[in-house]
């Protein structure tokens, strides 16, 4: 069933809803506790890695006793996703002032980011519900993942991205996967608000982090991590914060593992935002974690360039449960940290580097949140280095500015080729009517 995080009202599992019908707040997917013991569950999860069954080898569906929302295995979509590595990073550890630091690199997923963990469960639910199309607002990674998984499931992918401030590397993925890509003349928050209004009118399924089934998939990152650590929890888990779906799902996973007896201690969840897009950090630093004030997001870390994160209450719940913290770091700190991570032979998108920047600061500051050099810490890297190649090149050419914009410049050389399968993005005004017309036209085509 679905349960409201505030008023605890319950809703049927197959209702096409994203918020509570009683109070309008976010929903959790809840399920009965598995009958197996903690030891038996751990043994089952491990044994499946030797199977040739695609859902057994999936880094999400391998843990399906904790994802019991499907009716039969034939409904499940898989790519495969997950099974991402845990990497030692000695140079990054030295830079931060730690004895040891490990990165859980979610950029090893099929589309290069953590979004695949959640998109596989969200698209599975869309298939169960009999949807024709799925949609998201995105700063890049969500649109790439949605495009790929919808294509695999035979659904029409629709993505709304800001006209400016999106990495062309990420945009190229959604175009290649056949997504109807709408470049809205507005920021991410405008696109997301428009999508919420249009989805019920067009009968399309939203797969942003407001969708509780998407967060169910993302929670398996923590299950996978704990298994990699021999079920010995680290002292601290540090995660970038954008729309806050990751930190929300991580907190839910850790609570469930704690209740099942698979968690030895509560790792402190530390959420890191870019200083120019830090609404949750500002709320915590101002002592008002129960409220959130939207900000106009400004950061080169495009994956977390979000001023009104939809999952902030769930993220705050995760931080409070784990005795964690929320903070922000500057553009300079992010850029330098990204370069240091690269020196360990580990590439990542800029948003990921907020983690190392925060750890370095917390290890040096004499505050209550100070990190001890001997702490066991796992930092989450959310995306592949090739997600924002312009950023990396500009940094190493000493031409990275806080307000730069990527542009594509085409120079004519030789005979032009015919783009027989071209799927160009459609620039639209930020109005319901303009979006409605374009999306309805595509829906009419697929029948």
d(Cα 304, Cα 299) in Å, to the nearest integer?
8
pLDDT in tens, 308-359: 999 999 999 999 999 999 999 999 999 999 999 999 999 999 999 999 999 9
What mean pLDDT is reported for the chain?
A: 93
Q: Structural domains in the chain?
A: 1-30 (no CATH), 86-112+214-396 (3.40.50.1100)
Q: Which pLDDT score, from 0 to 100, does residue 254 have?
A: 98
d(Cα 151, Cα 157) in Å, to the nearest integer?
7
pLDDT in tens, 392-415: 988 998 888 888 766 555 567 777
- The residue among 369 and 87 whose pLDDT is bigger is 87
pLDDT in tens, 211-258: 999 999 999 999 999 999 999 999 999 999 999 999 999 999 999 999
Q: Which tokens go with 100? A: 């040891």
How many Cβ atoms from other residues are within 10 Å of residue 52's Cβ? 6
Contact residues for 418 (Cβ-Cβ < 8 A; gap 6+) = none
Confidence of residue 195 (pLDDT cuts 50, 70, 90): very high
Q: Which pLDDT score, from 0 to 100, does residue 290 have?
A: 81
Helix, strand, coil proportions of the chain in percent (round to 5)? 45, 15, 40
pTM for the model stands at 0.92
**Beta carbons of 277 and 294 less than 8 angstroms apart:** no
d(Cα 29, Cα 305) in Å, to the nearest integer?
27
């Amino acid at each position: 069933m679905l349960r409201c995080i505030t008023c605890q009202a319950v809703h049927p599992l197959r209702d096409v809803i994203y918020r509570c019908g009683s109070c309008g707040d976010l929903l959790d997917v809840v399920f009965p506790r598995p009958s197996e013991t903690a030891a038996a569950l751990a043994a089952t999860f491990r044994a499946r890695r030797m199977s040739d069954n695609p859902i057994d080898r999936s880094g999400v569906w391998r843990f399906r006793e904790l994802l019991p929302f499907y009716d039969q295995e034939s409904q499940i979509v898989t790519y495969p996703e997950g099974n991402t590595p845990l990497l030692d990073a000695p140079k990054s550890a030295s830079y931060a002032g730690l004895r040891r630091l490990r990165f859980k690199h979610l950029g090893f997923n099929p589309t290069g980011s953590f979004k695949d963990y959640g998109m596989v469960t969200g698209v599975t639910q869309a298939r169960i519900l009999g949807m024709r199309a799925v949609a998201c607002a995105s700063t890049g990674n969500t649109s790439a993942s949605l495009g790929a998984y919808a294509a695999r499931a035979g659904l029409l992918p629709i993505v709304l991205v800001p006209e400016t401030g999106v990495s062309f590397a990420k945009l190229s993925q959604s175009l290649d996967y056949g997504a109807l890509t709408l470049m809205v003349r507005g920021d991410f928050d405008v696109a997301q608000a428009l999508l919420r209004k249009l989805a019920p009118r067009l009968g399309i399924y939203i797969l942003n982090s407001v969708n509780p089934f998407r967060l169910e998939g993302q929670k398996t990152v923590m299950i996978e991590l704990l298994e990699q650590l021999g079920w010995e929890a680290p002292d601290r888990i540090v995660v970038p914060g954008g729309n806050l779906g990751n930190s929300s799902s991580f907190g839910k996973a850790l609570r469930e593992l704690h209740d099942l007896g698979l968690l030895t201690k509560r790792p402190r969840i530390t959420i890191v935002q870019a200083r120019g897009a830090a609404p949750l950090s500002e709320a915590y630093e101002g002592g008002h974690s129960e409220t959130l004030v939207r900000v106009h997001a400004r950061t080169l870390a495009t994956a977390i360039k979000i001023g009104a994160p939809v999952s902030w209450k769930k993220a705050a719940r995760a931080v409070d449960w784990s005795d964690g913290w929320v903070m922000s770091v500057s553009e300079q700190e992010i850029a330098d940290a990204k370069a240091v991570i690269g020196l360990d032979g580990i590439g990542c998108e800029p948003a990921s580097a907020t983690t190392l920047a925060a750890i370095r600061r917390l290890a040096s500051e004499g505050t209550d949140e100070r990190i001890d050099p001997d702490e066991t810490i796992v930092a989450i890297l959310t995306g592949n280095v090739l997600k924002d190649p312009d950023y990396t090149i500009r940094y190493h050419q000493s031409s990275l500015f806080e307000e730069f914009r990527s542009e594509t410049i085409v120079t004519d050389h030789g005979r032009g080729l015919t783009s027989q399968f071209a799927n160009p993005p459609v620039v639209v005004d930020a109005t319901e009517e303009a979006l409605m017309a374009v999306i309805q036209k595509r829906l009419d085509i697929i029948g």
